Amino acid sequence: MKLKGLAAATSILALTLTLGACGGSDSDKSTLQKAIDDGKISVGFAGEAPYSFEEGGELQGASVSLAKAVFKELGVDDVEGVNTEFGSLIPGLNADRFDAISAGMSILPDRCEQASFGDPEFMYTTALMTKEGKLDGMKDMEDVKDKGLKLATMTGAIENTMYAKELGIKTQEVGTPQDGMDAVTTGRADVFALTAISLNWMEKNTEDSGVEVSDSFVQEIDGVPQVGAGATVFRTDEKELRDEWNKGLDKIVSDEKSYLDVVGDYGFTKEERPDGSITTDQLCKGELPTADS
């Protein structure tokens, strides 16, 4: 009887394993296939308007709109956001806290060593924010240095990790764009440097902000214009997800109307649309084109 019972138990176990193998398990599926099957995917964002932010409990912004449009093209209807400080986005991605980063992150060589960037989504320029009436003709971060002003930059942002560092400017690091604006309005910093799109959005959407924003500029380092672009970011082993993302993204970015239909409501214009003259591979290698190329 014991042998029969053991044989029966063994048969049931074998059947269970067979059915499991036929049906597959989540661990056997790629991230993309699991997202398609579940109908949802998670993205990390940094609360930087107008790229990605929450309003009324809803995740929105230009990066988010692109994510929703592209993932829908790939068969994933729901994009769920995980709010994370900018400097913690790549560590969070690599710790599997979310499946991709949707924050308009600049493509930089050191970041490319840690994660895999999709194709360019936004071309970048920088701007400076000061108290109203205190801009004093400043046109770039060199002017901030020459005037010996206190500069605030966002932790992990290109204005901090590259521009200020290369220019030899000691900065006050802040966690969010709002923190940077607060530093300026309270006098803890004289200037806050960030992408022009972000600073103009903040000034426009903050009642009685008491700040002003410079014209946008392309920062130069040792005479070389730092042409930049932002993209969605994936783990380095997520080649399938990244490649399929790029295919869906190209359908939008390659057509000006389609691009502006997705991101235009957030202040983006045709000037921010990538024209194919600069690639992720170039930016990852640090092969920056000049402003004339």
64 token code pair: 């988010």
Contact 91, 50 (CB under 8 A): no
Q: What pTM value is reported for the model?
A: 0.75
Q: Does domain 126-217 have CATH number 3.40.50.360?
A: no
Q: What is the mean pLDDT of residues 247-276?
A: 93
Q: pLDDT at residue 293 above 80?
A: no
Q: For residue range 24-79, what is the model confidence (pLDDT) as tens digits?
A: 456 689 999 999 999 999 999 988 889 988 888 888 899 999 999 999 999 999 99
Contact 73, 251 (CB under 8 A): yes
Work out the mean pLDDT of the chain and round it to a whole number: 88
Q: Which CATH class is domain 31-123+227-282?
A: alpha beta
Q: What is the mean pLDDT of residues 194-204?
A: 92
3-state secondary structure of 78: strand
Q: For residue range 93-112, what is the model confidence (pLDDT) as tens digits?
A: 999 999 999 999 999 999 99
Domains 31-123+227-282 and 126-217 share a fold: yes
What pLDDT is recorded for position 78?
Answer: 96
Domain boundaries, the chain: 31-123+227-282, 126-217
Nearest to 85 by CA among 130, 46, 30, 36: 46
